Amino acid sequence: MTYVSPTGEFTRDQRYIATRITADGSDGYPAEPGRYRLVVSRACPWASRVVIVRRLLGLEPVLSMAVAGPTHDERSWTFDLDPGGRDPVLGIERLRDAYLARFPDYDRGITVPAIVDVSTGQVVTNDYAPMTLDLSTQWRAYHRPGAPDLYPESLRGEIDQVNAVVFEDVNDGVYQCGFAGGQEAYEEAYDRLFARLDWLADRLARRRYLVGDTITEADVRLFTTLVRFDAVYHGHFKCNREKLTEMPVLWAYARDLFQTPGFGDTVDFDHIKRHYYEVHRDINPTGIVPAGPDLSGWLTPHGREAMGGRPFGAGCEPGPLSDAEAVPAGHTPLRAAA
């Protein structure tokens, strides 16, 4: 759910279900293999964070994943990609069924990502910000051998600081532009967005990753906005001072991450474009989905390996995606259609 103030400012409803899944089960939900199902849409940047972190940490065998279709109506996300339009594990047609199973009078947004308790069919949490941090810290017993430390204790203060300004000005900033209800509110959000992108470009001109010399949670959070920038935010959300491909440092940084296993191989540009352009009819009344942009540039050399750094620290990259979780051919330049 979103709101626009009388003066035109977009405000995100952040009343999420704050239940946490922890190692000790202090909220009543202990981290256990096979107990939960992660529900995502590949269109959603907040859900994409969890998809990437789950893959980097190798949690696929212990936390199954349901992929909702790229579009939804006012009721909720649907499982129209699955046979019969039902998730094969939860047995439901709409994500809202899991929300109402726990909260019959639930009156907030039915959002992804969400984690559902398989045995009860009830949603546990949709609080996406701590969700990825908990995968890093509370599910550690189930990480794959060689999994990176995406939230190292010694860097958490700096990661949190970077994440806070990136969320306000970039992750949410593109939405503040796109859903602004007035010219002044739009221009203020636009100025904050590009000032922060300039700040990030300056920071990344001197270092390969945002915090430290390895990939961290901060890189995951920025990447999911950058990868959508030219495909939807530049035109659809009027974030058009320049394209990502016209910002040399950020474009090279984004390509570096995209070509790192766990990032680009989870991105579905078809779902991303269909969601934004088909669902946001208040911004795009015709529902026409643009044919572009050309995606081949994502695979061009980026040169940032010369800056040093170790993508996975002392660990190693994740193995190949399973066929069941691979992005469909033609939806990403990593798997071109035949």
**CA dist., res. 14 & res. 3, Å (int):** 11
In the residue annotation, 44 being an active-site residue is answered as yes
List, as residue ranges, the binding site.
77
Give the active site residue among 99, 142, 151, 175: 175
Which residues belong to the annotated binding site for glutathione? Answer: 77
Residue 316 catalytic?
no
Nearest C-alpha neighbor of 188 from the set 204, 159, 162, 168: 168
HSE, side-chain direction, 13 A CA sphere, residue 310: 10
| Residue 105, CA distances (Å) to 92, 99, 100, 213 in order | 18, 9, 7, 47
Catalytic residues, which ones? 44, 175
